[in-house]
Structure 1
Amino acid sequence: MKIHTLLYPVDRLEPAIAFFRDTLGLPLKFRDGERYAALDAGSLTLGLAAGEERIVDRPALALRVDDLEGALEGLLAAGASLLRPAEEGPHETRAVLQAPGGQPLVLSAKR
């Protein structure tokens, strides 16, 4: 498992990109229309999620895994709870969990 993104839900993508890029100086790495933008935040990516890509209601760590089902099984056995089952996103397969402390976690695996 590797933390790769801080998924940050926003109401509208354009003003959020402008703030993080122009005000905070984070370079834009990738944009997918009005639904998602990735900014370079150093050792991880800040992923702005709007519209149908807003799969969490508050900031969440996104972890990349090789085996989504195996990772889900292990985390659920360790006390996490499932908020959204595995589903195909536009760029990966992902699931949303809640860690025992109450914070959301997003697991994703490349297709």
Structure 2
Amino acid sequence: MQARLLLYPVADIDTALPFFTEGLGLSVKFRDGDRYCALDAGALTLALVAGEEKLVDQPALAFRMEEGEEIDAAIARLVDAGATVTLPAAQGPHETRAVLQTPEGFSLVLSGKG
């Protein structure tokens, strides 16, 4: 698994975007309508999420499965290590996603091919 994103939930991308682009100077890498906007934050992508992409209520790291890794196996390993599943693996608009809660109570999002 590789950390690639910090999901940052917002009520409305158009309203939130100027803070990140004009205030912080981040540039838009990719935007998918009113639900997702990826910003270049250096080694990590900051993803503003709203609507159906708002899987979490607080900022959360998102890990993408490496080629050949199975999301179900990763979920099982994390549960064995103390995580709990808060949103089971389900197909989203572009990939399979699941939300877990770490032993400390923080959300963690996994994504990859089913």
Q: What does residue 85 of structure 1 align with?
A: 88
Q: What does residue 112 of structure 2 align with?
A: 109
Residue 84 of structure 1: SS of its match in structure 2?
strand
Unaligned runs of 5+ in 2: none
- Encode CA deviations 1:42-95: one digit per residue, 9 max, x unaligned: 001001000111000000000011310110010011110000000111111100
- Encode CA deviations 1:24-56: one digit per residue, 9 max, x unaligned: 110100000000100000001001000111000
Whole-Å separation in 2 of the counterparts to 1:48 and 1:6: 9
Q: What does residue 57 of structure 2 align with?
A: 57
Q: What does residue 8 of structure 1 align with?
A: 8
Residue 90 of structure 1: SS of its match in structure 2?
coil
Whole-Å separation in 1 of the counterparts to 2:44 and 2:113: 17
Moved over 3 A (4+): none
Q: What does residue 43 of structure 2 align with?
A: 43
Calculate the TM-score normalised by the size of structure 1. 0.96
Unaligned runs of 5+ in 1: none
2:68 paired with 1:75: no
Q: What does residue 31 of structure 2 align with?
A: 31
Whole-Å separation in 1 of the counterparts to 2:95 and 2:109: 11
Of all paired residues, the percent bearing the same amino acid is: 57
CA contact (8 A) 2:71 2:113 kept: no
Distance 1:39 1:110, change over 3 A: farther
Whole-Å separation in 1 of the counterparts to 2:90 and 2:22: 33
Question: How far 1:18 sits from its partner (Å)?
Answer: 1.5
